[in-house]
Amino acid sequence: MKVVVGLGNPDPGYSATRHNIGFRVVEAFAAAHRISLRKLSSQARGGRGRSGTGELWIVEPLTWMNRSGAAVRWVLQDTGTDAGALIVVYDDLDLPLGRLRFKQRGGHGGHNGIRSIIDVIGTHEFVRLKIGVGRPPTGTDPVEYVLESFTSSETSLVDAVIAVACEALNVALAEGVTAAMNRFHAA
């Protein structure tokens, strides 16, 4: 079994923000696989289905971005899986808008949602799919930037990267993360 977690903030007012690109990717992925997302607990919403070669859980924490670790721990315990089954999808300021990168383990890179997951589950040994949202303009606070909506001129690029991220998740689940990295990491 694999568990794909998209990071974001649960309030509808944040749905179009850069910080919620993880939610948008897993929602598109769930829809493509006809997996209904519903409230599972006070910690998370999600659904179960199949993709690649086995059973799959798709999850969105309801604990807010900076406390994502509590929801991830709950999901891992509830599904009886460990961090090795986890793929976390989230926004990354250090990647240009429209780019994505898989990472198989490592630190949090300044991302508070990933920091929370590492702190709470006690390991950094899980797969991440980072979706580029670009750097803020000079003089703009990064915290404010990620909580802004994408501009109308960015919409088509955002839609395209969500579609590519869904394809990349399919490859990662069916063929492994290395195959997905080889296919989807542009130079």
CATH number at residue 109: 3.40.50.1470
Count of CB atoms within 10 A of residue 34's CB?
Answer: 9
In sequence order, the β-bridge partners of residue 4 are 58, 87
CA distance to 2, 131, 174, 186, per residue, from 54 (Å):
8, 24, 8, 28
- The whole domain housing 173 covers 2-184
What's the pLDDT score for residue 58? 96
pTM: predicted TM-score of the whole model, two decimal places:
0.94
The dihedrals phi and psi of 37, each to the nearest 5 degrees, come to: -100, 130
Check residue 154 and give its pLDDT.
95
59 pairs with which residues across the strands? 5, 46
State residue 109's pLDDT score: 82
Angstrom distance (rounded) from CA 30 to CA 49: 9
Token pair for 4: 């794909």
Collapsed DSSP state (helix, strand, coil) of residue 138? coil
- Relative to beta strand 44-51, strand 38-39 is antiparallel
Q: What is the dihedral of CA 97, 25, 84, 55, to 10 degrees?
A: -150
**Contact criterion met (CB below 8 Å) for 67 and 106:** no
Please, are residues 127 and 86 in contact by the beta-carbon 8 Å criterion? yes
Alpha carbon 169 to chain centroid, angstroms:
10
Rounded-to-integer distance, Cα 69 and Cα 162, Å: 23
pLDDT at res. 52: 64
Specify the pLDDT at position 186. 65
Count of structural domains, the chain: 1
Kind and range of the H or E element at 5? strand 2-6
The per-residue pLDDT string of the chain (187 residues; one tens digit each, 9 = 90 and over) reads 999 999 999 999 999 999 999 999 999 999 999 999 999 989 999 999 987 678 999 999 999 999 999 999 999 999 999 999 999 999 999 999 999 999 998 888 888 999 999 999 999 999 999 999 999 999 999 999 999 999 999 999 999 999 999 999 999 999 999 999 999 986 4
Catalytically active residues are: 19
